[in-house]
Chain A
């Protein structure tokens, strides 16, 4: 977008592009987070036979803005035994990486801050930094609940990073590039059809990484009250909250970009397609949250290592073999094959699990 306004040979182009997209990303993330919070509360309320926020503005649209304002003017309480510096730093460390991820997410063709040729790698690397902030917050608060929550978070992220990354490799093999821009351009058919198993693993793993139900046991409100940010108040709490929803936004945007064809779609303008798809993915996340109970920490680990990890490896192998054996073949042929592979594998692996009696055994 910025490219068209200015002459292409203008020397300040680089910095103008940089500046404009930084503003766009900031505004986009903050506004989407506010919209997401409102959307989640309203959608959940409707699913749960309640009304949800409906007082501030039409349909309660300004509720998030009012909440944000309230959070900003609240007193900032730091526990007396807390590690002050780390306690102060933690929300920043948690929030900044989430924003940085958007640098490589294309909003439409060419509309992104930096078309890195290692885009996927960049996302995987940067988004893991958030967990450091979470653990800093949990540790520095000097509270046992927050420590438990932070420990769970570390365990979950360490385990789930692996299947998530492996599931992305399938997409990368199909595209032959790590750039998100090129991944979208390669999706003449959305990769969710070509990589159904990869999508499933990525989505489940991503839910676990960003603490969304049914894997929200790092902040489990019925167990640990709020988990790692139990001792935070005011805008520091606000930053953790922002980071949490911004992570949900990241996952929605990544699923859109990697599996749902990014900005591509008929009729509507490109950027609108992107927003619609992001909204749809977020709706599914909210839907899951209203429906299912929470898993336990050992079940979470078991799912990652015994279910998702082997399946991700097999998916990687199958995709690689397919591309190696039939490099010229249309991707449409792979759709039924991969769906069949997914169904067989998921059924097979489900048989290996013995559910119940308090544990998940293989």
Chain B
């Protein structure tokens, strides 16, 4: 009997993952070329959520732009407010009362926890841990939203910070509620860890998958947990301390491999660090005004300013150019998620469809900010 070599003709095929897909966290489209299950090439297509926020802002007063920033990264509105107000204050040289600084820090760190909860929950959900982690994490996020509800009456788009302070002082019931939250939250974070930290399947799925090497992370100017998971100790709160971050003690958690698992662990650790910062800020919270005297229509001197903060998803910067009028001449957002997405194709090549989903999930993007 002779053996006959049989070669099967195969060819790669194109799969459009998204824009409507449960795991694209919004309307993101990945035009993927697959060879069986293996990814040959991935081409990101976005812009489905473009609302022209940068152009809209040029038509508004400096104060009137704050609600627009809420709509950028809607999972971290407080951070967006913070970064924008910081840029305007830098541009116009507006001083800030100390109490407002402390309140801003507390809000920004609470927002970081809330945002990371969604990010980690969604990532684990993408890994296939059906609903359990994300529902647990939404349960805790809800408590943070309740706190925000107390201070500004909103649960998603807060519009809380103002140029020169915050819109109103925190109410009486806020401090006890926050203290209760600070006491309970570490236990909940431990609960998430007990559920899945050392799970064999999660380790097999996430460890070593979607590696972003240190050099590439720096080259694409990635920031936030994505950069830190690759082993770079870079956090704007330490590297260029804005507001009053130089007064607090906290660590920068970093990963070593830069894989999906590290990105997940870094976010969990950052939640713990944020709790530390809030505790210190709560101790040092001074009495006094929460808003300095600012004219209704701010006319900053001609010039430009760049205010950046460590938002939950990375370095969020607002670049403002003033021509001396009441509206910004140019309003540019340095969106961390858009820049973190740059290396997506390199991270995904050679992995399988199932990995594509978790790599994408681990970068933790918010399409409203990517498309603006």
Contacts and interface: CB of A to CB of B under 8 A. Distances in A.
Interface of A: 44, 47-50, 144-145, 148, 213-214, 216-217, 220-225, 289-299, 355-360
Given A214-B201, A356-B207, A48 B136 contact: yes
Interface stretch (B2-10, B56-64, B346-354): B346-354
Nearest to B138: A49
Contacts of A223: 23, 353-354, 357
Contact of A292 (B37, B136, B201): B201
B179 interface: no
B324 interface: no
A50 B195 CA distance: 17
Interface string B107-143: 0000000000000000011111111100110010000
Q: Is the interface of A mostly helix, strand, loop or mixed?
A: loop
A222 B135 contact: no
21 contacts: A48-B131, A49-B135, A49-B136, A144-B13, A148-B15, A148-B353, A220-B354, A223-B23, A223-B353, A290-B131, A293-B202, A294-B127, A294-B128, A295-B128, A296-B354, A299-B205, A355-B200, A356-B204, A356-B207, A357-B207, A358-B207
B203 A355 contact: yes
B207 A222 contact: no
Interface of B: 13, 15, 21-23, 37, 124-132, 135-136, 139, 195-196, 199-205, 207-209, 351-355, 357
A224 B353 CA distance: 9
A264 to B, nearest CB: 34
B201 A295 contact: yes
B128 A220 contact: yes
A356 B208 CA distance: 6
B13 to A, nearest CB: 7
Nearest to A357: B208
Leading 5 A-B pairs by shortest Cβ distance: A294-B128, A357-B208, A356-B207, A293-B127, A293-B129
A356 B259 CA distance: 11
Given A291-B129, A299-B204, A356-B203, 11 more contacts: A49-B135, A148-B353, A222-B126, A223-B23, A223-B357, A225-B22, A295-B205, A355-B200, A357-B207, A358-B204, A360-B204
A51 to B, nearest CB: 11
Nearest to A224: B353
Nearest to A216: B128
A297 B136 CA distance: 28
B22 A222 contact: yes
A347 to B, nearest CB: 14
Q: Which of B15, B128, B136, B195 has the most CB of A within 10 A?
A: B128
B209 A358 contact: yes
A293 B131 contact: no
Contacts of A144: 13, 15
Given A49-B135, A144-B15, A225-B21, A297 B203 contact: no
Contacts of A289: 130
A213 B125 CA distance: 13
Contact of A291 (B125, B127, B195, B357): B195
A290 B132 CA distance: 6
B135 A296 contact: no
B354 A294 contact: yes
Contacts of A213: 128, 130
A50 B127 CA distance: 21
A222 B15 contact: no
B371 to A, nearest CB: 22
A221 B134 CA distance: 15
A331 B310 CA distance: 66
Contacts of A221: 22, 130
A139 B126 CA distance: 25
B351 A222 contact: no
A48 B124 CA distance: 14
Given A148-B37, A293-B127, A293-B201, A222 B357 contact: yes
A300 to B, nearest CB: 10
A47 B15 contact: no
Contacts of B207: 355-358
Contacts of B132: 47-48, 290-291
A222 B23 contact: yes
Nearest to B356: A223
Contact of A294 (B13, B201, B203, B352): B201
Nearest to B135: A48
Given A213-B128, A220-B354, A293 B205 contact: yes
Contacts of B22: 221-222, 225
Contact of B196 (A50, A225, A293): A293
A116 B323 CA distance: 90
Contacts of A292: 128-129, 199, 201
